[in-house]
Amino acid sequence: GENVEQHPSTLSVQEGDSAVIKCTYSDSASNYFPWYKQELGKRPQLIIDIRSNVGEKKDQRIAVTLNKTAKHFSLHITETQPEDSAVYFCAASGFYGGATNKLIFGTGTLLAVQP
């Protein structure tokens, strides 16, 4: 089945610096790639997503890139702020066989933004 690997597991940056989190997936049937942010003690919330017909998507300080050939996708956060500190999860979704599709999550990256 599909497997999503996420790196790094922890990331510490200075306020104002950029942060990059990378994910790889194994199944070429994956065609939807969301990113979720989970603050301490809170529920995961979607922050950005990208579909396989698009190579890059940007929303203010966050952007996601997708390389279908290499099966890589990445989250980029620019001008980081302390409120960006959280655990970030990548995920991949596709029809892997069966009547519906699955959402497979990476193992998460703890981002700490130092003021």
Q: Which of 34, 62, 77, 86 binds other proteins (CB under 8 A)?
A: 34
Contacts (CB under 8 A) with other proteins, residues 39-98: 42-46, 49, 89, 93, 98
* 103 near other proteins, judged by CB under 8 A: yes
Q: Does 18 engage in binding with other proteins (CB under 8 A)?
A: no
Q: Does 30 bind other proteins (CB under 8 A)?
A: no
Q: Give the neighbor-by-neighbor strand order of the sheet with 62-67.
A: 4-7, 19-25, 72-77, 62-67, 56-59
